[in-house]
Structure 1
Amino acid sequence: MANKLKIRGIDLTYEDLGTGDVIVFIHGQPFNRSMWNYQSQVFSKLNRLIIPDLRGYGESVTTEPIVLLDELALDIIYLLDELAVQKAVFVGLSMGGQVALEIYRLAPHLMKGLVLADTDARAENASSYLSRKQLAKSLLNYGMEKYTAENIGHYLCQNTFNIKREVLDHLRHMMITTDAAGAAAVQFGRAERRDHTEILLNIDFPTLIIVGDQDVFTPVTTAEHMQTRMKGAELAVIKDAGHIPNMEQPEQFNQLLKNYLDKV
Protein backbone atom coordinates (compact mmCIF):
# COMPACT_ATOMS: atom_id res chain seq x y z
CA MET A 1 0.00 0.00 0.00
CA ALA A 2 1.36 3.41 -0.96
CA ASN A 3 2.11 6.10 1.61
CA LYS A 4 2.44 9.84 1.11
CA LEU A 5 4.45 12.40 3.05
CA LYS A 6 4.95 16.10 2.41
CA ILE A 7 8.67 16.21 1.66
CA ARG A 8 10.37 19.41 0.58
CA GLY A 9 7.23 20.90 -0.93
CA ILE A 10 5.77 17.87 -2.70
CA ASP A 11 3.67 14.85 -1.78
CA LEU A 12 6.26 12.11 -2.03
CA THR A 13 4.76 8.65 -2.59
CA TYR A 14 6.61 5.64 -1.21
CA GLU A 15 6.14 2.11 0.06
CA ASP A 16 7.26 1.06 3.54
CA LEU A 17 7.23 -2.72 3.75
CA GLY A 18 8.39 -5.28 6.30
CA THR A 19 10.61 -4.95 9.36
CA GLY A 20 14.29 -5.29 10.11
CA ASP A 21 17.39 -3.78 8.57
CA VAL A 22 16.45 -1.15 6.00
CA ILE A 23 16.94 -1.37 2.24
CA VAL A 24 16.16 1.69 0.11
CA PHE A 25 15.38 0.91 -3.53
CA ILE A 26 15.78 3.79 -6.02
CA HIS A 27 14.28 3.39 -9.49
CA GLY A 28 15.60 4.56 -12.84
CA GLN A 29 14.23 6.67 -15.72
CA PRO A 30 11.50 6.61 -16.97
CA PHE A 31 10.19 4.16 -14.41
CA ASN A 32 8.54 4.20 -10.99
CA ARG A 33 8.70 2.29 -7.73
CA SER A 34 6.84 -0.70 -9.23
CA MET A 35 10.00 -1.77 -11.04
CA TRP A 36 11.11 -3.18 -7.67
CA ASN A 37 8.05 -5.44 -7.28
CA TYR A 38 10.30 -8.34 -8.32
CA GLN A 39 12.42 -7.69 -5.23
CA SER A 40 9.91 -6.41 -2.67
CA GLN A 41 7.97 -9.66 -2.57
CA VAL A 42 11.15 -11.48 -1.55
CA PHE A 43 13.05 -9.08 0.68
CA SER A 44 10.13 -7.64 2.63
CA LYS A 45 9.98 -10.97 4.48
CA LEU A 46 13.31 -10.24 6.19
CA ASN A 47 13.93 -6.52 5.82
CA ARG A 48 12.23 -3.16 5.99
CA LEU A 49 11.99 -1.77 2.48
CA ILE A 50 11.61 1.93 1.62
CA ILE A 51 10.69 2.29 -2.06
CA PRO A 52 9.90 5.84 -3.22
CA ASP A 53 8.58 7.27 -6.46
CA LEU A 54 11.20 9.88 -7.28
CA ARG A 55 10.07 13.47 -7.76
CA GLY A 56 8.56 13.71 -11.25
CA TYR A 57 7.85 9.98 -11.57
CA GLY A 58 5.02 7.65 -10.59
CA GLU A 59 2.76 9.34 -8.08
CA SER A 60 5.37 11.90 -6.88
CA VAL A 61 4.41 14.85 -9.06
CA THR A 62 6.53 17.96 -9.57
CA THR A 63 5.86 21.15 -11.52
CA GLU A 64 9.45 22.45 -11.56
CA PRO A 65 11.09 23.05 -14.96
CA ILE A 66 14.37 21.47 -13.84
CA VAL A 67 15.09 18.94 -11.09
CA LEU A 68 18.72 18.22 -10.25
CA LEU A 69 19.83 14.83 -8.99
CA ASP A 70 20.78 16.65 -5.78
CA GLU A 71 17.08 17.35 -5.25
CA LEU A 72 16.13 13.72 -5.73
CA ALA A 73 18.79 12.71 -3.22
CA LEU A 74 17.63 15.30 -0.69
CA ASP A 75 14.04 14.08 -1.03
CA ILE A 76 15.15 10.61 0.06
CA ILE A 77 17.38 11.95 2.84
CA TYR A 78 14.47 13.98 4.25
CA LEU A 79 12.11 11.01 3.83
CA LEU A 80 14.43 8.75 5.81
CA ASP A 81 14.68 11.38 8.52
CA GLU A 82 10.88 11.53 8.76
CA LEU A 83 10.80 7.73 9.03
CA ALA A 84 13.54 7.71 11.70
CA VAL A 85 15.85 5.60 9.52
CA GLN A 86 19.45 6.11 10.62
CA LYS A 87 21.21 3.64 8.34
CA ALA A 88 20.32 1.61 5.26
CA VAL A 89 21.58 -0.36 2.32
CA PHE A 90 20.85 1.60 -0.87
CA VAL A 91 20.07 -0.17 -4.14
CA GLY A 92 19.94 2.11 -7.18
CA LEU A 93 19.48 1.22 -10.84
CA SER A 94 20.58 3.49 -13.69
CA MET A 95 19.58 7.04 -12.67
CA GLY A 96 18.76 5.55 -9.26
CA GLY A 97 22.42 4.61 -8.87
CA GLN A 98 23.42 8.18 -9.63
CA VAL A 99 20.94 9.40 -7.01
CA ALA A 100 22.43 6.92 -4.53
CA LEU A 101 25.89 8.38 -5.15
CA GLU A 102 24.49 11.85 -4.50
CA ILE A 103 23.09 10.55 -1.20
CA TYR A 104 26.54 9.22 -0.32
CA ARG A 105 28.05 12.62 -1.14
CA LEU A 106 25.49 14.51 0.95
CA ALA A 107 24.90 12.08 3.83
CA PRO A 108 27.49 9.28 3.91
CA HIS A 109 26.51 8.43 7.50
CA LEU A 110 23.24 6.97 6.18
CA MET A 111 24.94 4.25 4.15
CA LYS A 112 25.47 0.79 5.51
CA GLY A 113 25.89 -0.64 2.04
CA LEU A 114 25.52 0.24 -1.64
CA VAL A 115 24.41 -1.68 -4.71
CA LEU A 116 24.87 0.06 -8.05
CA ALA A 117 23.02 -1.59 -10.93
CA ASP A 118 23.45 -0.63 -14.59
CA THR A 119 24.62 2.88 -13.84
CA ASP A 120 27.51 5.26 -14.51
CA ALA A 121 29.30 7.43 -11.96
CA ARG A 122 30.64 9.80 -14.59
CA ALA A 123 29.16 13.12 -15.68
CA GLU A 124 27.85 13.70 -19.17
CA ASN A 125 30.42 14.46 -21.85
CA ALA A 126 29.88 17.28 -24.33
CA SER A 127 27.92 15.09 -26.74
CA SER A 128 25.78 13.27 -24.18
CA TYR A 129 25.05 16.57 -22.42
CA LEU A 130 23.41 17.89 -25.59
CA SER A 131 21.63 14.56 -26.13
CA ARG A 132 20.20 14.68 -22.61
CA LYS A 133 18.89 18.19 -23.19
CA GLN A 134 17.40 17.15 -26.50
CA LEU A 135 15.72 14.18 -24.85
CA ALA A 136 14.10 16.48 -22.30
CA LYS A 137 12.80 18.78 -25.05
CA SER A 138 11.52 15.81 -27.04
CA LEU A 139 9.59 14.47 -24.03
CA LEU A 140 7.92 17.86 -23.65
CA ASN A 141 7.10 18.19 -27.33
CA TYR A 142 6.03 14.67 -28.24
CA GLY A 143 5.17 12.89 -24.98
CA MET A 144 5.95 9.51 -23.48
CA GLU A 145 4.08 7.29 -25.91
CA LYS A 146 6.30 8.31 -28.82
CA TYR A 147 9.42 7.95 -26.69
CA THR A 148 8.28 4.52 -25.51
CA ALA A 149 7.50 3.26 -28.99
CA GLU A 150 10.91 4.32 -30.28
CA ASN A 151 13.05 3.31 -27.31
CA ILE A 152 11.51 0.50 -25.28
CA GLY A 153 13.57 -2.12 -27.09
CA HIS A 154 16.79 -0.48 -25.95
CA TYR A 155 16.05 -1.21 -22.30
CA LEU A 156 15.75 -4.98 -22.71
CA CYS A 157 17.89 -7.70 -24.19
CA GLN A 158 16.39 -9.38 -27.24
CA ASN A 159 15.52 -12.54 -25.33
CA THR A 160 13.43 -10.60 -22.80
CA PHE A 161 11.77 -8.60 -25.55
CA ASN A 162 10.82 -11.76 -27.44
CA ILE A 163 9.61 -14.16 -24.74
CA LYS A 164 8.89 -12.31 -21.48
CA ARG A 165 5.64 -10.58 -22.35
CA GLU A 166 4.78 -9.80 -18.72
CA VAL A 167 8.04 -7.88 -18.25
CA LEU A 168 7.61 -6.07 -21.56
CA ASP A 169 4.05 -5.06 -20.71
CA HIS A 170 5.07 -3.85 -17.25
CA LEU A 171 7.91 -1.81 -18.69
CA ARG A 172 5.68 -0.27 -21.36
CA HIS A 173 3.05 0.67 -18.78
CA MET A 174 5.63 2.37 -16.54
CA MET A 175 7.04 4.31 -19.45
CA ILE A 176 3.83 5.55 -21.07
CA THR A 177 2.27 6.54 -17.73
CA THR A 178 5.28 8.59 -16.66
CA ASP A 179 4.47 12.30 -16.65
CA ALA A 180 6.35 13.79 -19.60
CA ALA A 181 6.87 17.17 -17.93
CA GLY A 182 8.17 15.54 -14.73
CA ALA A 183 10.55 13.28 -16.65
CA ALA A 184 11.76 16.19 -18.79
CA ALA A 185 12.49 18.27 -15.69
CA VAL A 186 14.66 15.50 -14.29
CA GLN A 187 16.41 14.97 -17.62
CA PHE A 188 17.30 18.67 -17.76
CA GLY A 189 18.73 18.26 -14.27
CA ARG A 190 20.44 14.99 -15.04
CA ALA A 191 22.35 16.67 -17.85
CA GLU A 192 24.02 18.81 -15.18
CA ARG A 193 24.98 15.91 -12.91
CA ARG A 194 28.31 15.77 -11.14
CA ASP A 195 31.15 13.43 -11.96
CA HIS A 196 31.29 11.01 -9.04
CA THR A 197 34.37 9.11 -10.19
CA GLU A 198 36.51 10.59 -7.40
CA ILE A 199 33.83 9.86 -4.79
CA LEU A 200 34.11 6.17 -5.59
CA LEU A 201 37.62 6.17 -4.14
CA ASN A 202 36.24 7.19 -0.73
CA ILE A 203 33.69 4.39 -0.34
CA ASP A 204 35.17 2.12 2.32
CA PHE A 205 32.33 -0.33 2.92
CA PRO A 206 31.40 -3.42 0.85
CA THR A 207 29.72 -2.54 -2.42
CA LEU A 208 28.15 -4.54 -5.22
CA ILE A 209 28.05 -3.52 -8.87
CA ILE A 210 25.55 -5.35 -11.07
CA VAL A 211 25.15 -5.07 -14.84
CA GLY A 212 23.25 -6.90 -17.55
CA ASP A 213 25.55 -8.53 -20.07
CA GLN A 214 23.63 -6.90 -22.95
CA ASP A 215 23.07 -3.43 -21.47
CA VAL A 216 23.48 -0.86 -24.27
CA PHE A 217 23.12 2.23 -22.04
CA THR A 218 25.70 1.36 -19.38
CA PRO A 219 27.61 -1.67 -20.69
CA VAL A 220 29.89 -4.01 -18.78
CA THR A 221 32.89 -1.78 -19.53
CA THR A 222 31.19 1.05 -17.63
CA ALA A 223 30.67 -1.21 -14.62
CA GLU A 224 34.30 -2.28 -14.81
CA HIS A 225 35.35 1.39 -14.87
CA MET A 226 33.60 1.91 -11.53
CA GLN A 227 34.86 -1.30 -9.97
CA THR A 228 38.52 -0.44 -10.57
CA ARG A 229 38.01 2.77 -8.60
CA MET A 230 36.32 1.24 -5.58
CA LYS A 231 37.97 -0.57 -2.69
CA GLY A 232 36.81 -4.16 -2.58
CA ALA A 233 33.83 -3.70 -4.89
CA GLU A 234 32.34 -6.88 -6.29
CA LEU A 235 31.18 -6.93 -9.91
CA ALA A 236 28.45 -9.31 -11.06
CA VAL A 237 27.36 -9.64 -14.69
CA ILE A 238 23.86 -11.05 -15.19
CA LYS A 239 23.43 -13.14 -18.32
CA ASP A 240 20.55 -12.61 -20.74
CA ALA A 241 19.71 -9.16 -19.40
CA GLY A 242 19.78 -5.62 -20.68
CA HIS A 243 19.41 -2.39 -18.72
CA ILE A 244 16.91 -3.66 -16.14
CA PRO A 245 18.22 -7.05 -14.95
CA ASN A 246 16.16 -6.90 -11.75
CA MET A 247 13.06 -7.30 -13.96
CA GLU A 248 14.54 -9.43 -16.73
CA GLN A 249 16.35 -11.94 -14.51
CA PRO A 250 14.91 -11.41 -11.01
CA GLU A 251 16.10 -14.75 -9.66
CA GLN A 252 19.72 -14.00 -10.53
CA PHE A 253 19.42 -10.41 -9.28
CA ASN A 254 17.78 -11.43 -6.01
CA GLN A 255 20.36 -14.12 -5.29
CA LEU A 256 23.18 -11.63 -5.82
CA LEU A 257 21.46 -9.13 -3.52
CA LYS A 258 20.84 -11.77 -0.86
CA ASN A 259 24.47 -12.87 -0.93
CA TYR A 260 25.56 -9.26 -0.60
CA LEU A 261 23.19 -8.55 2.30
CA ASP A 262 24.55 -11.59 4.12
CA LYS A 263 27.99 -9.95 3.99
CA VAL A 264 26.93 -6.55 5.30
Structure 2
Amino acid sequence: MRTIALDRTVLAYDDVGPDHGAPLLLVHGHPFDRSMWAPQLRRFGGERRVLVPDLRGYGASRGAVAEWAAFADDLAALLDGLRVPRVVVAGLSMGGQIALELWARHPHRVAGLLLADTTAAGETAVSRAARRDQAARLLREGMDPYAVDALYLMVSPDAPPAVASHVLEMMRAADPAGAAAAQRARADRPDRRPDLAGITVPTVVVVGGEDTYTPVADARRIADGVPGAELVVVDGAAHLPNLERPDAFDAAVARLLDRVDAP
Protein backbone atom coordinates (compact mmCIF):
# COMPACT_ATOMS: atom_id res chain seq x y z
CA MET A 1 0.00 0.00 0.00
CA ARG A 2 1.11 3.54 -0.78
CA THR A 3 -0.33 6.88 0.27
CA ILE A 4 -0.45 10.24 -1.43
CA ALA A 5 -1.26 13.62 0.11
CA LEU A 6 -3.69 15.64 -2.00
CA ASP A 7 -5.00 19.14 -1.39
CA ARG A 8 -8.02 17.97 0.60
CA THR A 9 -7.22 14.42 1.71
CA VAL A 10 -4.71 11.58 1.85
CA LEU A 11 -5.53 8.55 -0.30
CA ALA A 12 -4.23 5.02 0.15
CA TYR A 13 -3.70 3.11 -3.08
CA ASP A 14 -1.95 0.27 -4.84
CA ASP A 15 0.15 0.97 -7.94
CA VAL A 16 1.52 -2.10 -9.68
CA GLY A 17 2.55 -3.26 -13.12
CA PRO A 18 4.63 -2.05 -16.05
CA ASP A 19 4.01 0.99 -18.23
CA HIS A 20 2.62 -0.98 -21.14
CA GLY A 21 -0.66 -0.01 -22.76
CA ALA A 22 -3.26 2.19 -21.13
CA PRO A 23 -3.15 2.21 -17.31
CA LEU A 24 -6.19 0.76 -15.56
CA LEU A 25 -7.89 2.59 -12.67
CA LEU A 26 -10.23 0.43 -10.53
CA VAL A 27 -12.87 2.25 -8.45
CA HIS A 28 -14.58 0.30 -5.68
CA GLY A 29 -18.18 0.51 -4.53
CA HIS A 30 -19.93 1.11 -1.21
CA PRO A 31 -19.19 0.02 1.47
CA PHE A 32 -16.06 -1.72 0.25
CA ASP A 33 -12.37 -0.94 -0.21
CA ARG A 34 -9.67 -1.52 -2.76
CA SER A 35 -9.36 -5.20 -1.79
CA MET A 36 -12.55 -5.91 -3.74
CA TRP A 37 -10.38 -5.69 -6.87
CA ALA A 38 -7.88 -8.37 -5.79
CA PRO A 39 -8.73 -10.75 -8.67
CA GLN A 40 -8.35 -7.99 -11.25
CA LEU A 41 -5.10 -6.77 -9.71
CA ARG A 42 -3.71 -10.29 -10.04
CA ARG A 43 -5.01 -10.68 -13.58
CA PHE A 44 -3.89 -7.37 -15.06
CA GLY A 45 -1.10 -6.14 -12.78
CA GLY A 46 1.50 -8.26 -14.51
CA GLU A 47 0.88 -6.78 -17.94
CA ARG A 48 0.10 -3.09 -17.40
CA ARG A 49 -0.01 -0.41 -14.73
CA VAL A 50 -3.01 -0.83 -12.43
CA LEU A 51 -4.04 1.83 -9.90
CA VAL A 52 -6.41 0.81 -7.10
CA PRO A 53 -7.27 3.51 -4.56
CA ASP A 54 -9.32 3.44 -1.39
CA LEU A 55 -11.88 6.18 -1.87
CA ARG A 56 -12.00 8.95 0.71
CA GLY A 57 -13.67 7.61 3.85
CA TYR A 58 -13.13 3.94 2.95
CA GLY A 59 -10.42 1.39 3.68
CA ALA A 60 -7.17 3.07 4.64
CA SER A 61 -8.23 6.48 3.25
CA ARG A 62 -9.53 8.42 6.21
CA GLY A 63 -11.90 11.38 6.28
CA ALA A 64 -15.23 11.87 4.57
CA VAL A 65 -16.51 13.62 1.47
CA ALA A 66 -18.53 16.81 1.81
CA GLU A 67 -20.09 16.56 -1.66
CA TRP A 68 -20.45 14.02 -4.45
CA ALA A 69 -18.00 15.64 -6.87
CA ALA A 70 -15.17 15.16 -4.36
CA PHE A 71 -14.84 11.48 -5.26
CA ALA A 72 -14.14 12.23 -8.94
CA ASP A 73 -11.94 15.21 -8.14
CA ASP A 74 -9.89 13.06 -5.73
CA LEU A 75 -9.25 10.58 -8.54
CA ALA A 76 -8.20 13.35 -10.93
CA ALA A 77 -5.85 14.69 -8.25
CA LEU A 78 -4.43 11.19 -7.73
CA LEU A 79 -3.68 10.96 -11.46
CA ASP A 80 -2.08 14.41 -11.33
CA GLY A 81 0.09 13.39 -8.39
CA LEU A 82 1.20 10.21 -10.14
CA ARG A 83 1.67 12.02 -13.46
CA VAL A 84 -0.71 9.67 -15.26
CA PRO A 85 -2.44 11.59 -18.07
CA ARG A 86 -5.20 9.12 -19.04
CA VAL A 87 -6.58 5.84 -17.75
CA VAL A 88 -9.16 3.22 -18.50
CA VAL A 89 -11.60 3.52 -15.60
CA ALA A 90 -13.49 0.50 -14.28
CA GLY A 91 -16.02 1.26 -11.57
CA LEU A 92 -18.58 -0.95 -9.87
CA SER A 93 -21.84 0.21 -8.25
CA MET A 94 -21.02 3.55 -6.57
CA GLY A 95 -17.66 3.23 -8.30
CA GLY A 96 -19.44 3.15 -11.65
CA GLN A 97 -21.30 6.32 -10.74
CA ILE A 98 -17.99 7.90 -9.78
CA ALA A 99 -16.50 6.77 -13.12
CA LEU A 100 -19.32 8.59 -14.91
CA GLU A 101 -18.70 11.64 -12.74
CA LEU A 102 -15.00 11.53 -13.62
CA TRP A 103 -15.91 11.43 -17.32
CA ALA A 104 -18.31 14.36 -16.89
CA ARG A 105 -15.87 16.52 -14.90
CA HIS A 106 -12.51 15.41 -16.34
CA PRO A 107 -13.16 13.75 -19.70
CA HIS A 108 -9.58 14.23 -20.90
CA ARG A 109 -8.41 11.82 -18.18
CA VAL A 110 -10.59 8.92 -19.38
CA ALA A 111 -9.44 6.64 -22.22
CA GLY A 112 -12.12 3.98 -21.70
CA LEU A 113 -14.97 3.10 -19.34
CA LEU A 114 -16.18 -0.10 -17.74
CA LEU A 115 -19.39 0.51 -15.84
CA ALA A 116 -20.39 -2.46 -13.70
CA ASP A 117 -23.60 -3.05 -11.75
CA THR A 118 -24.46 0.62 -11.65
CA THR A 119 -26.96 3.19 -12.82
CA ALA A 120 -26.61 6.55 -14.53
CA ALA A 121 -29.99 7.77 -13.26
CA GLY A 122 -30.19 10.38 -10.56
CA GLU A 123 -32.03 9.82 -7.32
CA THR A 124 -35.77 10.04 -6.89
CA ALA A 125 -37.37 11.66 -3.87
CA VAL A 126 -37.88 8.20 -2.39
CA SER A 127 -34.34 6.92 -3.05
CA ARG A 128 -32.82 10.20 -1.87
CA ALA A 129 -34.64 9.86 1.44
CA ALA A 130 -33.60 6.20 1.68
CA ARG A 131 -29.91 7.10 1.27
CA ARG A 132 -30.16 9.72 4.00
CA ASP A 133 -31.98 7.26 6.25
CA GLN A 134 -29.26 4.67 5.61
CA ALA A 135 -26.59 7.23 6.50
CA ALA A 136 -28.33 7.89 9.81
CA ARG A 137 -28.63 4.15 10.46
CA LEU A 138 -24.93 3.56 9.84
CA LEU A 139 -24.01 6.29 12.31
CA ARG A 140 -26.52 5.00 14.85
CA GLU A 141 -25.94 1.24 14.58
CA GLY A 142 -22.49 0.86 13.01
CA MET A 143 -21.76 -1.30 9.97
CA ASP A 144 -22.57 -4.78 11.26
CA PRO A 145 -26.39 -4.81 10.96
CA TYR A 146 -26.22 -3.33 7.46
CA ALA A 147 -23.50 -5.79 6.43
CA VAL A 148 -25.50 -8.81 7.56
CA ASP A 149 -28.68 -7.55 5.87
CA ALA A 150 -26.92 -6.74 2.59
CA LEU A 151 -24.57 -9.71 2.18
CA TYR A 152 -26.74 -11.93 0.03
CA LEU A 153 -27.86 -9.01 -2.09
CA MET A 154 -24.23 -8.15 -2.77
CA VAL A 155 -23.40 -11.76 -3.68
CA SER A 156 -25.66 -14.64 -4.68
CA PRO A 157 -26.54 -17.34 -2.13
CA ASP A 158 -24.38 -19.72 -4.17
CA ALA A 159 -21.29 -17.51 -4.00
CA PRO A 160 -18.09 -19.29 -2.94
CA PRO A 161 -17.79 -19.11 0.88
CA ALA A 162 -14.45 -17.32 0.65
CA VAL A 163 -16.03 -14.61 -1.52
CA ALA A 164 -18.98 -14.14 0.82
CA SER A 165 -16.62 -13.97 3.80
CA HIS A 166 -14.44 -11.35 2.09
CA VAL A 167 -17.45 -9.20 1.19
CA LEU A 168 -18.85 -9.40 4.73
CA GLU A 169 -15.45 -8.50 6.18
CA MET A 170 -15.10 -5.45 3.91
CA MET A 171 -18.54 -4.16 4.85
CA ARG A 172 -18.03 -4.70 8.57
CA ALA A 173 -14.63 -2.98 8.46
CA ALA A 174 -15.90 0.17 6.73
CA ASP A 175 -15.84 3.43 8.70
CA PRO A 176 -19.49 4.31 9.46
CA ALA A 177 -18.73 8.05 9.25
CA GLY A 178 -17.10 7.75 5.83
CA ALA A 179 -19.82 5.47 4.51
CA ALA A 180 -22.58 7.70 5.85
CA ALA A 181 -21.01 10.79 4.28
CA ALA A 182 -20.85 8.98 0.94
CA GLN A 183 -24.53 8.06 1.13
CA ARG A 184 -25.50 11.65 1.89
CA ALA A 185 -23.38 12.81 -1.04
CA ARG A 186 -24.90 10.20 -3.35
CA ALA A 187 -28.35 11.42 -2.45
CA ASP A 188 -27.55 14.69 -4.22
CA ARG A 189 -25.62 13.36 -7.22
CA PRO A 190 -26.68 14.57 -10.68
CA ASP A 191 -28.54 12.51 -13.24
CA ARG A 192 -25.91 11.44 -15.78
CA ARG A 193 -28.29 9.88 -18.31
CA PRO A 194 -28.19 13.00 -20.51
CA ASP A 195 -24.39 12.63 -20.73
CA LEU A 196 -24.36 9.07 -22.04
CA ALA A 197 -24.76 9.97 -25.71
CA GLY A 198 -21.68 12.20 -25.47
CA ILE A 199 -19.33 9.47 -24.25
CA THR A 200 -16.78 9.02 -27.03
CA VAL A 201 -14.40 6.46 -25.49
CA PRO A 202 -14.71 2.66 -25.72
CA THR A 203 -17.23 1.52 -23.13
CA VAL A 204 -18.31 -1.81 -21.67
CA VAL A 205 -21.30 -2.21 -19.34
CA VAL A 206 -21.22 -5.30 -17.10
CA VAL A 207 -23.93 -6.60 -14.78
CA GLY A 208 -24.53 -9.72 -12.73
CA GLY A 209 -27.52 -11.60 -14.04
CA GLU A 210 -28.90 -11.93 -10.49
CA ASP A 211 -28.24 -8.33 -9.41
CA THR A 212 -31.29 -6.86 -7.69
CA TYR A 213 -29.66 -3.57 -6.63
CA THR A 214 -28.94 -2.49 -10.22
CA PRO A 215 -30.63 -5.10 -12.43
CA VAL A 216 -29.93 -5.98 -16.04
CA ALA A 217 -32.50 -3.43 -17.22
CA ASP A 218 -30.43 -0.61 -15.68
CA ALA A 219 -27.29 -1.86 -17.39
CA ARG A 220 -29.09 -2.16 -20.72
CA ARG A 221 -30.26 1.45 -20.47
CA ILE A 222 -26.67 2.61 -20.03
CA ALA A 223 -25.41 0.44 -22.88
CA ASP A 224 -28.20 1.66 -25.15
CA GLY A 225 -27.32 5.25 -24.31
CA VAL A 226 -23.56 5.10 -24.97
CA PRO A 227 -22.62 4.89 -28.66
CA GLY A 228 -20.93 1.57 -29.43
CA ALA A 229 -21.09 0.25 -25.87
CA GLU A 230 -20.86 -3.50 -25.23
CA LEU A 231 -23.28 -5.07 -22.73
CA VAL A 232 -22.06 -8.12 -20.77
CA VAL A 233 -24.42 -10.05 -18.49
CA VAL A 234 -22.55 -12.35 -16.11
CA ASP A 235 -24.69 -15.37 -15.28
CA GLY A 236 -24.57 -16.73 -11.75
CA ALA A 237 -23.49 -13.45 -10.16
CA ALA A 238 -25.29 -10.78 -8.16
CA HIS A 239 -23.94 -7.28 -7.47
CA LEU A 240 -20.23 -8.21 -7.44
CA PRO A 241 -19.49 -10.24 -10.58
CA ASN A 242 -15.81 -9.30 -10.41
CA LEU A 243 -15.57 -11.44 -7.25
CA GLU A 244 -18.18 -14.11 -7.96
CA ARG A 245 -17.27 -14.74 -11.61
CA PRO A 246 -13.85 -13.13 -12.10
CA ASP A 247 -13.05 -15.01 -15.33
CA ALA A 248 -16.10 -13.63 -17.13
CA PHE A 249 -15.58 -10.17 -15.67
CA ASP A 250 -11.90 -10.10 -16.56
CA ALA A 251 -12.66 -11.17 -20.12
CA ALA A 252 -14.85 -8.07 -20.48
CA VAL A 253 -12.08 -5.88 -19.04
CA ALA A 254 -9.54 -7.45 -21.43
CA ARG A 255 -11.72 -6.75 -24.47
CA LEU A 256 -12.06 -3.13 -23.39
CA LEU A 257 -8.32 -2.76 -22.90
CA ASP A 258 -7.69 -4.26 -26.34
CA ARG A 259 -10.03 -1.70 -27.89
CA VAL A 260 -8.31 1.17 -26.11
CA ASP A 261 -4.82 -0.09 -26.95
CA ALA A 262 -5.61 -0.75 -30.62
CA PRO A 263 -3.75 1.64 -32.95
Q: How does the TM-score come out when normalised to structure 2? A: 0.96
Q: Is the 8 A contact 1:155 1:243 kept in 2?
A: yes
Alignment RMSD: 0.9
Structure 1 residues not aligned, in runs of 5+: none
Identity %: 39
Distance 1:158 1:145 in 2: 19
Tell me if 1:199 matches 2:195: yes
Give the equivalent residue in structure 2 for 1:190. Answer: 186
Deviation string, structure 1 residues 153-181 (Cα, Å, up to 9, x no partner): 11112221xxx111011001100000001
The answer to whether the 8 Å contact 2:207/2:232 transfers is: yes
Distance 1:91 1:61 in 2: 22
Map of 2:91 onto structure 1: 92
The equivalent of 1:31 in structure 2 is: 32
Q: Which amino acid aligns with 2:35?
A: S
Alignment correspondent of 1:172: 168
Match of 1:119 in 2: 118
Per-residue CA deviation, residues 123-164 of structure 1 (Å, 9 max, x unaligned), is: 11111111011000000000001111122111112221xxx1
Secondary structure (helix, strand or coil) at the match of 2:72 reads helix
Work out which of the residue numbers 237, 242, 246 in structure 2 matches 1:250: 246
In 2, Cα distance between equivalents of 1:209 and 1:57: 25
> Normalising by structure 1, what TM-score?
0.96
Q: 1:9: Cα distance to partner?
A: 2.5
- What residue number does 1:208 align with? 204
Match in the other structure for 1:7: 6
Q: Which residue is equivalent to 2:147?
A: 148
**Cα separation, 2, equivalents of 1:206 and 1:104:** 12
- Match of 2:81? 82
In structure 2, the residue corresponding to 1:241 is in which secondary structure? Answer: coil
8 A contact 2:204–2:230 mirrored in 1 = yes
Contact 1:23 1:88 in 2 (8 A): yes
Moved over 6 A (4+): none
The one-letter code of the counterpart of 2:217 is T
Once the two structures are superposed, what CA deviation does each residue of 1:160-208 show, in whole Å capped at 9, x if it has no partner? 1xxx111011001100000001100111001001100011110012100
1:15 partner SS: strand
- Worse-superposed segment, 198-207 or 23-32: 198-207
2:55 is paired with a residue whose SS is coil
> Counterpart of 2:130?
131
Contact 2:112 2:256 in 1 (8 A): no
Q: Work out whether residues 69 and 98 of structure 1, in 8 Å CA contact, stay in contact via their aligned partners in 2.
A: no
Tell me the distance in 2 between the aligned counterparts of 1:181 and 1:23: 29
2:220 counterpart residue number: 224
Cα deviation, 1:54-88, whole Å, max 9, x if unaligned, reads 001000010x4x53221011001001001000011
- In 2, Cα distance between equivalents of 1:7 and 1:91: 22
- The one-character-per-residue Cα deviations of 1:31-66 (angstroms, maximum 9, x if unpaired) are 00000001000101111011000001000010x4x5
CA deviation after TM superposition for structure 1 residue 11, in Å: 1.7
Shift of 1:89: 0.3
Aligned length: 258
